[in-house]
Structure 1
Amino acid sequence: MASRTPIYDALASLGPASVPRSLVIWDPPATPLSTMTSAFAAIATYLAVLYGGSTIMKGRQPFGSSLKFPFLVHNIALTIGSGLLLAVMLEEIIPILRHGGFFYGICHEAAWTSRLETFYIINYYFKYWELIDTVFLVLKKKPLQFLHVYHHSATALLCFSQLHGKTSVSWFVIVLNLAVHVVMYMYYAASTLRLRLPWKKAVTILQISQFFGAIGVCVFAAYSHWSSKWGLSRHGGCAGKEYAAVAGVVCLTSYLFLFLGFYAKTYKNDGKKGGKKVVANGSAANGHAKKR
């Protein structure tokens, strides 16, 4: 019988025979970066490196061609990594949806499987890897925009909150974000090679679209939870901690408004001479603005 998860099986065969339990199961404090202290310390370190690095770079020349290769490798690796994680998540999610339907898939406790939890942990660690995006900006002496810094910082903490809160709807947001990241980091890799792709505006629209979709489904899941809790609906509640649901909706909504503002500011002079275009890097989750 053919394997139901051929991509996962192939990847697992390439890895070590055994992996520490704390790396595949969310088990605070054994799992790295699984406590509030460690997560906030990591973000605080990130901010210190950013603004400390920016201060140091004020008196130095920006790094130019020497960063081209590491920046290319970084973007290609994130493109491939995001694509593979998206593929193995879909292998796990599609059978769940076929078995129970969409509402079951985003709300039932059984939709939070042990394998999906492992994928959520990997996605969470990706958010710390993506912080390197900003380090490149600092070394290139590019301005650190609020959208960039806030989005990267908040997304890591958002993923942290969902792992703690075990919200079954998490996969929907992450799948959208990973799909966007495949396109986005592929674009950045191509731009590093000076391949002219007409994707700048399209990538930003794609980023905004993911927030509309993610917010819509998360609001529906939150409504289902509370309406069931208050006896207003017989459809059943949605699994997950209430604080995690609130954090998800609030955080994603803030991203949407920031990206809409970014879009309006960046493309209001679209087509006019001298108008500058910037692509906002947004991750599910992960966003920042990079000037080309």
Structure 2
Amino acid sequence: MSTLYATAHYWLVEHPSISQYEWIPNQSPGSTPLFLFATVATYLSLTLLLSLRPLPSPPPFLRLITAFHSLLLCLLSLLMAVACTLSALHQSPTPTWPICFPANHTPPRGPTFFWAHVFYLSKIAELLDTLLILLSGARGRRRLTLLHVYHHAAVVAVCRAWVSERQSLFPVALVTNAAVHVLMYAYYLLCAIGIRPRWKRVVTDLQILQFVFSFAVSGWMLRIHFGGGPGCEGIRVWCVNAVFNASLLALFADFHVNNYAKRKRLAEDGDNKKIS
């Protein structure tokens, strides 16, 4: 077990390309504002175009592509969750470092920021989710919601800011989000191969729980920030991120009510009618 841990720690944390990583504006992959704007604009334009025009029947190999895409992101999410945890523990000079980066003393370098960069690029790969949904035909279009498009488009910019602005608290957010995505993409993978698990609601519940957890930990971060000392790095970007998380929490809660609570009430009403 110790040999396995040492091997994983080397390849995920201590490897020179990871341990010596540094975010360099306008030089690191995907770091330019133009790249970010072009990515989000292309995503929104294609989504609008494909949702308005008629599409042919889904190709027979679409399920295979969806399964591969889901498997890839499931494994990548697991890798990022483990790697960022090991990196934050390795790089932390104090126990509270993953919660609050000391202001003006935290350059965007090292293994934790490397995995934040990978996480940012993974959110661009997740944009393919929308294309796969639209290509699945009329049923897919009905599944496409404002929550889905808004979340996918905005999260790319949010995750880029984690690295570029050295936002405090991102290691915790990255690990929790990646962990939830392991389960979410496992669900999508099973659906793509013809198995429909009965725990879809669990995925939504965990997504809501991660936002509630982020607000709880944010209270700890703010206590450190205003408790004296240099304060926490990236606090302005954190404020924007907090508003984004609050909007997602509201949308996920509304989705939960519309898709589960109302369905449960209708089922209960149907049972009552049968009894009467």
Query: 1:290 matched to which residue of 2?
Result: none
Q: After the TM superposition, which residues 3-152 of structure 1 pair with which residues of structure 2 at under 5 Å, given as runs? A: 5-10=6-11, 24-56=21-53, 58=54, 60-95=55-90, 100-101=94-95, 103-109=96-102, 114-141=110-137, 142-143=140-141, 144-152=144-152
What TM-score results when the alignment is normalised by the length of structure 2? 0.83
Q: Tell me whether 1:215 sits opposite 2:215 in the alignment.
A: yes
C-alpha spacing 1:247/1:193, structure 2 compared with 1 (3 Å): same
Q: Partner amino acid for 1:7?
A: A
Contact 2:12 2:83 (C-alpha < 8 Å) held by counterparts: no
- Residues 1:223 and 1:154: Cα distance change in structure 2 (over 3 Å): farther
How is 1:192-203 mapped onto 2 (pairs within 5 angstroms)? 192-203=192-203
1:95 positional shift: 4.4
Superposition deviation, residue 96 in structure 1: 5.4
Q: Which residue of 1 aligns with 2:189?
A: 189
C-alpha deviation, 1:204, in angstroms = 0.5
Mapped partners of 1:215, 1:40: distance in 2: 28
Alignment match, 1:254 = 247
CA contact (8 A) 2:161 2:167 kept: no
Instruction: Name the Cα RMSD after superposition.
Output: 2.9
Alignment: residue pair count: 259
Could you tell me the percent identity over the aligned residues? 26
Paired residue type of 1:140? S
Q: Which has the higher relative contact order, 1 or 2, with Cα contacts under 8 A spaced 6 or more apart?
A: 2
TM-superposed CA distance for 1:37, in Å, is 2.3
C-alpha deviation, 1:8, in angstroms: 4.3
Secondary structure class of the residue paired with 1:62: coil
Aligned to 2:159: 159
| 1:3-36 CA-partner distances (Å, limit 9, x unpaired) | 86532434689x9x979x8xx4211101122122
2: CA distance, partners of 1:188 / 1:265: 21
Q: Which amino acid aligns with 1:49?
A: L
Unaligned runs of 5+ in 2: 268-276
Aligned to 1:264: 257
Give me the whole-angstrom Cα distance separating, in 1, the residues matched to 2:88 and 2:79. Answer: 14
Greater helix proportion: 2
TM-score by length of 1: 0.79
Q: Structure 1: state its 5+ residue gaps.
A: 228-232, 274-292
Per-residue displacement from partner, 1:79-126 (whole Å, max 9, x unpaired)? 1111111111111223456x632x333114377651111100000000
Distance, in Å, in 2 between the alignment partners of 1:9 and 1:139 is 41
Looking at structure 2, the residues matched to 120 and 18 of structure 1 have their Cα atoms a distance apart, in angstroms, of 14
Label 1:5 to 1:115 Cα distance change in 2 as closer, same or farther (>3 A).
farther
Query: 2:51 corresponds to which letter in structure 1?
Result: S
Whole-angstrom distance in 2 between the partners of 1:41 and 1:6: 39
Q: Contact between 2:13 and 2:86, CA under 8 Å: does it hold in 1?
A: no
Question: Which digits, 9 at most, give the CA deviation of each residue in 1:43-63, with x for residues without a partner?
Answer: 00111111122233x1x3331
CA distance in 1, matches of 2:77, 2:213: 19
For residues 127-169 of structure 1, the C-alpha deviation after alignment (integer angstroms, 9 at most, x for no partner) is: 0000000001111232331100000011111011221210231
Give 4+ residue runs of structure 1 displaced > 6 Å after superposition. none
In structure 2, the partner of 1:230 is none
Q: Partners of 1:136 and 1:267 in 2: how far apart?
A: 24
